[in-house]
Structure 1
Amino acid sequence: MTERYEYLPHPLLRRRVRVIASGAEGELMAVVNENVSDTVVERWVQLAYVRGSSGREFSTSVDNIEPTATI
């Protein structure tokens, strides 16, 4: 496959999430399966893109997010 990334569906898209490792919160904007292969070994990772309250987006492993509690 020549594509470097592909968008994936996720049940938390457009919902508030928390990054488990840092505690940062924001809205899950996208989940991407990204090809991070070198010249020898093909390797794909799933990244979650979260938009924080400042409007800036950051990425983390999709396994590193959880929904925030709703009141």
Structure 2
Amino acid sequence: MAERYAYVPHRLLRRRVRDIASGAEGELMAVINENVSDSAVREHWVELAYIRGATGREFTTAVGSVAPAD
């Protein structure tokens, strides 16, 4: 199995964003194309957004669920 992740550029990096799915807001810290497969036979990659909330803790969500905070 090759690398488990790769950083992806995103127009909202280091900006305040909202997770549409949960309604939580924070700063978009990274977007990562991550290999979440459980075997080397079949790889499964997903793009995850890492958002740092007001408490300082980061959470992940699907990149499609990220929107600029108003």
After TM superposition, the score normalised by the length of structure 1 is 0.91
What is the SS of the residue equivalent to 1:63?
helix
Q: Partner of 1:14 in structure 2?
A: 14
Structure 1: gaps of 5 or more residues: none
Deviation at 1:13, TM superposition (A): 0.0
Please show how residues 47-66 of structure 1 align to structure 2 within 5 Å.
47-66=48-67
Matches within 5 A, 1:22-41: 22-39=22-39, 40-41=41-42
Using the TM superposition, give the Cα deviation of residue 34 of structure 1 relative to its aligned residue in structure 2, in angstroms: 0.1
How many positions carry a matched residue from both structures? 69
Q: What is the root-mean-square deviation in Å for CA atoms of aligned residues?
A: 1.1
Who is 2:44 aligned against?
43
Q: Which runs of 5+ in 2 are unaligned?
A: none
Q: Provide runs of 4+ in structure 1 moved above 4 Å.
A: none
* Amino-acid identity (%): 70
TM-score (norm 2): 0.92
Partner of 1:3: 3
Aligned partner of 2:17: which letter?
Answer: V
